[in-house]
Amino acid sequence: MNIVTLLGAPRTDGNTDRLLDWTERALKDWRHQVTRINLAELSVHGCKSCFACTESVDEPGCILPDDAPAVFDQMIAADAILFATPLYMWGYASQLKALLDRSICLVSGFGGPDHRSFIAGKPAALLVSCAGPIDGNADLIQASFPRFANYTRLDNRGVYVFPHCTDVNMLPNTHGNESRELARSLTE
């Protein structure tokens, strides 16, 4: 499979980067092709709510002149998509949130019989690293990603939360195995 991974952390060499790296290594071990996109290195602005994208049906049609349209092209070309973010204020880091907002241009007809998406049917999962526990902390992102997947018609393979991530060199031992489990769920 051709898998696109999207790192939404503002820093590399942090927990999210390390966990995503472990997941990518498992994918590569199983002979999948992995293309990492580091959103912090790109320019992806927030959605301007112009709805210009609703005027085109053959392409996403976002008219903002930044890097998001090229990222969408890579997502559309991929067989599967893996999103990764640190938990920020119980939600997505802004680097990834901006892209998710912008993905409104990938969808048309939501809620009706003509509901379509340029990324429909692709397996997708979300990796989340957080300093705290899962309960009462990562529960909101666990609830919201399935709704995003439903909106974009992705095939949601799960939200994988990695709790108790503080020092990158002290990541809990279990997280290595869970990274491989995430890789497996995305590709099976």
Nearest 5 degrees, angle CA 102-CA 184-CA 97? 15
Q: How near is the Cβ of 139 to ligand FMN at its closest, in Å?
A: 11
Instruction: Classify burial at 114, counting beta carbons within 10 Å of its beta carbon; exposed 0-12, middle 13-18, buried 19 or more.
Output: exposed
9 binds ligand FMN (CB under 6 A): yes
90 binds ligand FMN (CB under 6 A): yes
**Pairing of the two strands 155-162 and 123-129:** parallel
Closest residue to ligand FMN, based on beta-carbon distance = 14
CA distance 21 to 89: 24
CA distance 98 to 111: 23
Is 126 in contact with 161 (CB distance < 8 Å)?
no
Cβ proximity to ligand FMN, 17 vs 24, nearer residue = 17
Cβ proximity to ligand FMN, 94 vs 108, nearer residue = 94
SS3 content of the chain, % helix, strand, coil (to 5): 40, 20, 40
Number of neighbours of residue 131 by Cβ within 10 angstroms = 12
Q: How near is the Cβ of 137 to ligand FMN at its closest, in Å?
A: 5
Of 107, 127, 165, 182, the residue at the interface with ligand FMN (CB under 6 A) is 165
Cβ proximity to ligand FMN, 144 vs 187, nearer residue = 144
144 binds ligand FMN (CB under 6 A): no
110 binds ligand FMN (CB under 6 A): no
Q: Binding residues for ligand FMN, how many (CB under 6 A)? A: 18
Q: How near is the Cβ of 88 to ligand FMN at its closest, in Å?
A: 4
Interface with ligand FMN by CB under 6 A: which residues? 9, 11, 14-17, 86-90, 129-132, 137, 165-166
